Each structure stands twice: as C-alpha cells, then as structure tokens.
Amino acid sequence: MANASNTWGTLRAALFSLLCAASLSLALPMLAWADDQAKPSNESEGTADSAIEIDDENAVEIDGETNRVDPTQRADNSFIYDTTIDSLFSQPSLYDGKIVQVSGEAIGDIVVEDPLRRKNCWITLTSIDSANPATISVFMSREQAAQIDHLGRYGVTGSIMQIRGIYHQACPEHEGTPDVHATNTAVISRGSEHPDMFEIGDFVPGAVAVLVGLILMGVYYFIRERSR
C-alpha cells in the first residue's frame, strides 16, 4: 500500500514538473518578445533601472514614499542639448563637456588647424537671432567643412549649419579655446549673395557736397591771396 502511494506521489511530482517546464518554455519567448518591443522606450530609463539600487543613506525622499532621487548620481553625458550659440556663450558651465546641437551662420573663413597637414579646420558660427548675437568656434574635418557653400561676410549670407558635437568652455586640446568639436554637421539652409547695386542717384548728395567743399576751398585761397 505504501509502495503504491509512493509511486503515485512520484508520478504527480513528475507531472507537475513537466507542466512547469512547459509553461516556462512558453512564457520565456513571450517575455523576450515583450522585452524587445519595450526596448526603445526603456532606453532613456536604462540608467535609472541599472541605478535602481539607491543607497538608503544618501537617498532623499520627495513627495511621500515613491519619488526618490539619488543625489550622488552624476549628470548623464549621453544626452544631447539642443541649444543656441547665445546660450553656450552666456551659460558655458552648463554645457561644458556635453553633447550639444546648435545652428548658426558660417562666417568669415575656413581656418585650417595645421597648415602642414590640413586635415581639420575651424569654422566660426554666428547666431541667427540678431537680438542675441554670439559666435562659437567649431572644430571639424575638412570634409565636413566642404559642405559649406557660402561663408558670411558683407554682401553674403553664409550657409546655415546645424552642428552636433562636444562643447568645451575652455578646450583642453586647444589651450583653452571655447569650442565645439563637431561629430555631425549638416547644412540646413544654403547661403546666398546679395551684392550692392550701383545706383547713380546715391552718389549725387556726396558729389554735390564735395563740389561745394572744393569751391569753398578755392574761394578761401583766393581771398587769402588777395588779402596779402
């Protein structure tokens, strides 16, 4: 009797094990699929998930029980700051060492970094918003600079470029220059030329004034010679 009951118990255990194995084999692919689907949205939270073990000594509780922040957690470097040149100029510490994305007009000249190798160069970008003027030096490859069709100067509007790269408030590689080391560059608007048109009418007031001045000079010399 005891043997029969033992055999039955063993069979039940084996049957239960089989059921568990079957359910697990079905559940695991489902979980893996669900994880794959959820990956993009979880990516930005990845650091938070991995840093979920908050040191209770340093943890700060905000608004009750659930919102907890870790003050020892360092700033996230992988974030891209879409900002303006003026902001880089006015708040350099905020963006130092971060990946930034700025847009501005390419002006002046393409200045090569090393006149012998001519591999990399400097471009000066000026802010598009005239109310907040500022400029920034952008360090990039010659290939990236070749995208520029016009450089801004008098009578020329330069290409509007969008630059993504690491901002330095005082670049250690370039003896303290505030710059952006570009990783991605794109021309978002082509430059254009708008030369001055020659209008003869614009010169009439000047010509009249010069003529009056010369006549007065002549009269002065005439009177001076007569008074001698």
126 contributes a contact to other proteins by CB under 8 A:
yes
Cα four-point dihedral sign 71, 77, 80, 81: positive
E strand residue ranges, the chain: 60-62, 67-69, 80-82, 99-112, 120-126, 135-141, 156-157, 160-171, 177-189, 192-193
For 98, phi and psi rounded to 5 degrees? -95, 160
Least distance in angstroms from the C-beta of 220 to other proteins: 5
Which position has the token pair 């001698």? 228
CA 198 to chain centre: 41
Q: Which is nearer to other proteins, 20 or 209 (CB)?
A: 209
The token pair that represents 12 in the structure block: 């039940």
Length of the chain measured in residues: 228
- Could you say which residues in the range 208-227 bind other proteins, by CB under 8 A? 208-214, 216-217, 219-220, 223-224, 227
**Span of 20-28, 66-74, 183-191, 204-212 interacting with other proteins by CB under 8 A:** 204-212
- SS3 string of 55-106? CCCCCEEECCCCEEECCCCCCCCCCEEECCHHHHHHCHHHHCCCEEEEEEEE
**Span of 29-37, 43-51, 62-70, 85-93 interacting with other proteins by CB under 8 A:** 85-93
- Could you say which residues in the range 180-199 bind other proteins, by CB under 8 A? 195-199
Q: For other proteins, what does the binding mask look like between residues 143 and 182, x meaning CB under 8 A?
A: ---------xxxx-------------xx-x-xxxxx----
**Span of 36-44, 63-71, 88-96, 159-167 interacting with other proteins by CB under 8 A:** 88-96
Q: Which is nearer to other proteins, 7 or 192 (CB)?
A: 192
Q: Which is nearer to other proteins, 7 or 91 (CB)?
A: 91
Cα four-point dihedral sign 34, 37, 41, 43: positive
- Interface residues toward other proteins, by CB under 8 A: 89-90, 92-93, 107-113, 115, 118, 121-122, 124, 126, 130, 133, 135, 137, 152-155, 169-170, 172, 174-178, 195-199, 202-203, 205-214, 216-217, 219-220, 223-224, 227-228
